[in-house]
Chains A and B, each alone.
Chain A
Amino acid sequence: MSIASTLGRPFASMAPARRRSAATCAVALIAIIFPLIHGDDADIDSLANALSYAALALGLNIVVGMAGLLDLGYAAFFAIGAYVYGVLSSFQLQPDWSSFWEPFAFLGLVARMPGQGAVDVVHTTLSFWLALPLAGAVAAGCGIVFGAPTLRLRGDYLAIVTLGFGEIVPIVARNWTSVTNGASGLNGVAPPSIFGTSFGVDATPYYYVIVALVAALIFVSLRLRDSRIGRAWMAIREDEIAAGAMGVNLVRYKLLAFAIGASFAGMAGTFYVSKLQTATPEMFGFPVSVMILVMVVLGGMGSVWGVVLGAMVLQLLQSWFLPDLTDWLHQLGALIGNDAMQKIDLVQSIELIFGIVLVLMMLYRRDGLIPAHRKEAALTFEQQHAVVERVTAFALPGIAPPTARGKPLLEIKDITVRFGGLVALNSMTLTVPEGGVLAVIGPNGSGKSTLFNVITGLTPPASGSIRFGGKDITGLPSHQILQTGLARTFQNIRLFPNLSVMDNVLVGAHSRMQSGAVRSILRLPATKREELMARERVMEILSLFGNRLVPRVNQAVGNLSYANRRRVEIARALASGPRLLMLDEPTAGMNPAETMELAEQLKQLHTLGLSILVIEHKLDVVTRLADTVVVLDHGEKLTEGLPDEVRRNEAVLDAYLGRAHAAVKDIAVA
């Protein structure tokens, strides 16, 4: 029996979570003992370089992989971090010495040294250990300053803007010679030192610093990924509009991703420069941004361990394998007398290899080496064909019976919406009373979905006002409207397809949770408790649909049936604890049995105290659910009344059945 299988057997029998932590420990152990068992300084040096790229890839992974913001100028933040330490720890800036510098000298940030002329000058001596967080903070600050105006741009436009930024920063570094020493680069950047001992030129201490840094960044990435923050990022990546409608503050979370990603690059930059002891503008150009992107794509966008692997593979390919491979090719060429083969230098062709890797990965394995989203096993035949359970009695915490039944909850006054010359809604006035169910019906193009969009802040009204629970919500961004207690579903279903049912519904609970980035990283007991409670609540909400969703809770939503996706969307809206549930054609695509099942469930929600505004075409659902029916036609309110009244209304019949109906009637009369 081999050692591998002896070790492998207990590993295979472990629970997944324990298996993961065992693998993590093994990787950490190998990283720690590597320099002890393999003393070659050049190899340790290559590994340290590769790990600095892993740090960069981890940062870009947060921006591109998790939040879905394509950044083509990420190396700019690497440059900023590099120059922060490079400039402040070299002899580049030498202002004249004055008493102003005394306190800094006391803190050890600067030193006095004799200058070329009569006066002494300042030598900046920022410690590496201070520079690391400082560079992270400066880069994050630059990320925020740069991101604030640009992050609202659409995806591909954002990519261009970041590309422009990525071009500008190295050019500034090249031209601003008084600070950066231009194209010739900074000289004499101080190596880090610890307890007065300088790291010098030995690779091993640098290696341990970057191992610790990468370990910390992996930890931070994993904690963020599995938190409310990471879910918000992934929701933005999957569907920005739905994320906003579910209470995610888009601007804030995009900026957060940008800033955290930038801070990783800033720290990596400081480390890289301290190791090389020089910085030139060429180290941070577009090719570097692309290389980091290739690492992320190769490893798997959004996959923390994947991008680390991607960075290591590409870097070590460059420094370890390609020189060897080139040697072999040359020897082979000499052997068979092929001149061309002896001239090939694969190290020079690294960018060609990057290009090929990028294209092949995109064509054949877009999920990367380690996909971010594990595929859950499909349900068994028995589970898929289980008898549908009907839940008859249930309660949902957070949904309380209305205090003032019948009082106006949602008041829409004179709302007009125009798209160019088309008037989609013409001074619409509507009221949903507390505890009521209002159904909106009308032919296609009558303005029903526009009504929903204008209420939830997706479409700005030309005039008019919307009040909810007495509060004016006209013109508020979607996420704030959700927080007032108004949650919606979409006609075309807007879920987050790559996220599980659980994560989708948890995004709905986003605005009910509070943990920010720092608390999510530290995972304090309060944060843990909050997360646990949210998960329990999600399970309660899912059980509302009997055994439809509960067995599928870990499945990716993209794999669910149409009807189940509609149910997930309703569950997601319910998770925000709304007072008014807005449903845009909730039973579209469901068969009659499923339709009645859902109508029953909605009825029960209403009994629990939820007010409902529903767009629906199926009149039997409308009749069963609604207290009041509003009929829209051509953006105007045709009539309003009890379901049965509306059904018999002549104008409604005309609108639905058109002129032909009227003509037939005329003939009948004649």
Chain B
Amino acid sequence: MTATDLLVQQIINGVSLGAMYALIALGFTLVYGIMELINFSHFNVFMVGSYIALYVLEAFGISGQSTLMSGWPLVGVLVVALLVAMVGCGFLGVVIERLSLRPLRGVKGPSAMITTIGVSYILFNLVLLFLGTDTKNYPNPLPPLTFAIGGAVLRLREILIWVISLALMAGLYVFTRRSKMGKAMRATAQDPDAARMMGVEVDRVIMTAFFLGSALAGAGGMIFGLYYNFTSFVIGYSAGLRAFTAAVLGGIGNVPGAMLGGMIIGLIETLSGQVVAVRWTDVIIFSLLVLVLVFRPAGLLGRVAPNKS
């Protein structure tokens, strides 16, 4: 591989990772935009999603390098796995919100954020307790079809990841722009009290935000498994933190910002692994996070709210 090929290859990989980070980042952003809450439980909702999709795939007999299915049946199973992971995570998100966050509505200070840290710990340790510490292999059911771009290789896997992510993000965008609930969400994000007085049921809006955000994280969880061919109870923290950085980078609370931030983080991850060293990748990403917050706290696309007094 020449240097250019390597660069192209890392960009392909980076965009795939970026799409996954963007999906997770959207969950952070949706909730933050409406409640101004950093939802740490989201990290492990994502992790649970990758397990759910794995078990659905295994239930259909797809495991390892299986070529059991191909064509439309395979597409069907992948879609089912994706949907089950998304709906499962969506409900998990709603339950978390209902049980641990709704009672804290209106409580000032860091209580809600600390609660989500606790919920995140609970999810993490429940998976650890019941599913064990070992890393689980993820199936790679796709036919080994590849396209050569110069010396770089574009696999069917990457294309699948891009298609899923694009479709979901486009869907979310249309939902927030066109639907009635989407309008209510945007209104609540601007001013919850005014929205409430205009007849918006803020509790339902929050529930929807948790459902959508968690569902996207579930999709992200499946993509993680397909990309890396494994899943483990520890993936929530590292991937979640990078996705969170993506959300902040793009401007937390800002939907297109989360997508942009995800792409940037994905590319930084693969390119810095290439240029510097993988072991410094996290330092680069977190330094970037600190720098963005210090010099442009609203992120790349966000706006700073004026100081109210």
User: Are A175 and B121 neighbours in the complex by a CB distance under 8 Å?
Assistant: no
- A224 CA to B192 CA, complexed, in Å: 39
Residues of B near A163 (CB, < 8 A) are 241
- Give residues 446-498 of A contacting B (CB, 8 Å): 449, 453, 458-459, 490, 494
Known contacts: A155-B110, A241-B309. The answer to whether A358 contacts B117 by CB under 8 A is yes
Pick the contact of A168 from B100, B111, B244, B286 — CB < 8 Å? B286
In this assembly, does B119 line the interface, its C-beta being within 8 Å of a C-beta of chain A?
Answer: yes
Please provide the chain A residues from 314 to 363 with a CB less than 8 Å away from any CB of chain B in the complex. Answer: 348-349, 351-352, 354-359, 362-363
In angstroms, Cα B125 to Cα A161, docked, is: 25
When distances are taken between beta carbons in the complex, the residues of chain A under 8 Å from B114 are 293, 297, 358, 362
Q: Check if B294 sits within 8 Å of A161, measured CB to CB.
A: yes
A164 in complex: contacting residue of B113, B117, B290, B297, CB < 8 Å: B290
A449 partner residues in chain B, CB cutoff 8 A = 309
Residues of B within 8 A of A490 (CB): 309
**Given the complex, which residues of B lie within 8 Å of A494, measured CB to CB?**
309
Interchain CB contact under 8 A, B121 and A153: no
- Give Cα distance in the complex from A352 to B118, angstroms: 9
Give chain B residues whose Cβ lies under 8 Å from the Cβ of A458.
307, 309
B-contact bits for A147-184, CB 8 A (1 contact / 0 none): 00110011111011101110110011011000000000
Among the listed stretches B53-61, B62-70, B81-89, B101-109, which one makes contact with chain A, having 4 or more residues with CB under 8 Å of it?
B101-109
Query: In the assembled complex, how far is the CB of residue B295 from the closest CB belonging to chain A, in whole angstroms?
Result: 9
Docked complex Cα distance between A140 and B171 (Å): 49
Alpha-carbon distance between A198 and B283 when the two chains are bound, in angstroms:
39
8 A Cβ contacts from A371-403 to B: none
A235 to B307, CA, bound (A): 18
> In the docked arrangement, what's the CA distance between A68 and B114, Å?
13
**CB atoms of B38 and A159 under 8 A apart:** yes
Interface contact B111-A362, CB-CB below 8 Å: yes
Is B307 a contact of A351 with CB atoms below 8 Å?
no
Q: How long is the Cα–Cα vector from A362 to B114 in the complex, in angstroms?
A: 8
Asked if B125 and A351 make an inter-chain contact with CB atoms under 8 angstroms apart, the answer reads yes
- Binary interface profile of B, 108-139, with partner A (CB < 8 Å = 1, else 0)? 01111111011111101110010000000000
CB pair A156 B297 closer than 8 Å: no
* Pairwise interchain contact B293-A156, C-beta atoms closer than 8 A: no
Q: A171-B283, A297-B114 are in contact. Are A349 and B38 (CB under 8 A)?
A: no
CB distance from A518 to the nearest CB of B (A): 30
Determine if B263 is an interface residue (Cβ-Cβ < 8 Å).
no
Does A605 reach chain B (CB closer than 8 Å)?
no
Residues of A close to B124: CB separation below 8 A: 351, 355
Per the bound structure, the CA–CA distance linking A616 and B237 in Å amounts to: 54
Chain A residue numbers with a CB within 8 Å of B290 are 150, 161, 164-165
Contact A174 B279, beta carbon cutoff 8 Å: yes
B119 contacts A175, CB within 8 Å? no
The answer to the question of A286 belonging to the interface, with a C-beta cut-off of 8 Å to chain B, is yes
Q: Does B203 contact A (CB under 8 A)?
A: no
- Which of A167, A168, A175, A362 is most buried by chain B, counting CB atoms within 10 A of its CB? A362
Using CB atoms, name the residue of chain B closest to A494: B309
Chain A residues near B117 (CB-CB < 8 A):
290, 293, 355, 358
Are A160's CB and B122's CB within 8 A? no
Residue contact B121 to A354, C-beta cutoff 8 Å: yes
Establish whether residues A161 and B289, one from each chain, have CB atoms under 8 Å apart when the complex forms: yes
Q: Do A149 and B294 contact each other (CB < 8 Å), given the known contacts A156-B38, A290-B121?
A: yes
Q: Cβ of B294 and Cβ of A68 under 8 Å apart?
A: no
Bound-complex Cα distance A157 to B289 (A): 10
For residues 244 through 273 of chain A, which have their beta carbon under 8 Å from a beta carbon of chain B? none
C-alpha gap A426/B194 in the complex (Å): 28
Q: Digit string of B269-284 for contact with A (CB within 8 Å is 1, else 0)? A: 0000000000110110
Q: Let me know if A358 and B297 touch, CB within 8 A.
A: no
Task: Choose among A171, A358, A453 the residue that contacts B282 (Cβ–Cβ < 8 A).
Answer: A171
Contacts of B121 in A (CB 8 A): 290, 351-352, 354-355, 358
- Report how far A361 CA is from B13 CA in the complex, Å: 43
B118–A359 contact, CB under 8 A? yes
B43 to chain A, nearest CB (A): 11
Interface size class of A (residues with CB under 8 A): 35 or more
CB distance from A285 to the nearest CB of B (A): 10
What separation, in Å, do the CA atoms of A64 and B248 have in the docked complex?
A: 22
Query: Which residues does chain A contribute within 8 Å of B306, judged by CB atoms?
Result: 419
Known contacts A153-B294, A351-B121, A362-B118; A167/B282 CB under 8 A: yes
Which residue of chain A is the closest to B36 with respect to CB atoms? A156
Closest chain B residue to A166, Cβ basis: B286
Would you list which residues of chain B between 238 and 295 have a CB under 8 Å from chain A? 241, 244-245, 248, 279-280, 282-283, 286-287, 289-290, 293-294
Contacts of A70 in B (CB 8 A): 110, 113
Question: Are B119 and A355 in contact, CB atoms less than 8 angstroms apart?
Answer: yes
Tell me which residues across on chain B come within 8 A of A157, comparing CB atoms. 248, 293, 297
* A366 interfacial contact with B, CB 8 Å: yes
Whether the pair B122, A359 counts as a contact (CB closer than 8 A) is yes
Contacts of B122 in A (CB 8 A): 352, 355-356, 359
Q: Which residue of B lies closest to A172 (CB)?
A: B283
Smallest CB–CB gap between A510 and chain B, Å? 19
A419 proximity list for chain B (CB < 8 A): 306
Bound complex: CA of A458 vs CA of B306, how far in Å? 11
| B309 and A453 within 8 A (CB) | yes
Decide: A160 near B294, CB < 8 A? Known: A349-B125, A362-B111. Answer: no
- A356 in contact with B118 given A161-B293, A349-B125, A363-B103 (CB within 8 Å): yes
Q: Which of A172, A352, A362 contacts B126 (CB 8 A)?
A: A352
Complex interface: chain A residues within 8 A of B103 (CB)? 363
Query: In the assembled complex, which residues on chain B have CB atoms less than 8 Å from the CB atom of A286?
Result: 237
With both chains docked as a complex, state the minimum distance between the C-beta of A447 and any C-beta of chain B, in angstroms: 14
Among B110, B125, B129, B307, contact of A159 (Cβ-Cβ < 8 Å): B110
Give the Cβ gap from A419 to chain B, nearest Cβ, in Å. 6
B contact residues around A161 at 8 Å (CB): 289-290, 293-294
CB distance from B17 to the nearest CB of A (A): 18
Complex: A155 Cα to B37 Cα, angstroms: 11
> Most chain-B Cβ atoms within 10 A of its Cβ — which of A164, A453, A490?
A164
The answer to whether residues A160 and B110 also contact, given A171-B282, A355-B119 and a CB cut-off of 8 A, is: no
In the bound complex, what is the Cα–Cα distance between A113 and B189 (angstroms)?
Answer: 66
Would you call B283 and A362 a contact (CB within 8 A)? no
CB neighbours (8 Å) of B113 from chain A are 70, 156, 159
Q: How far is the CA of A453 from the CA of B307 in the complex (A)?
A: 11
Q: How far is the CB of A351 from chain B (nearest CB, A)?
A: 5
Instruction: Give complex CA distance A281, B237 in Å.
Output: 17
- Seed contacts A156-B38, A157-B297, A349-B129; 9 additional CB < 8 Å A-B pairs: A156-B113, A161-B294, A286-B237, A351-B125, A356-B122, A357-B118, A358-B121, A362-B111, A449-B309
Could you show 17 A-B contacts with beta carbons less than 8 Å apart? A159-B38, A160-B248, A161-B290, A171-B280, A171-B282, A175-B279, A349-B129, A352-B125, A355-B120, A355-B122, A358-B117, A359-B122, A362-B104, A362-B115, A363-B100, A366-B107, A419-B306
Considering the complex of A and B, which 5 residue pairs feature the smallest CB-CB distances, nearest first? A355-B121, A358-B118, A352-B125, A355-B122, A164-B286
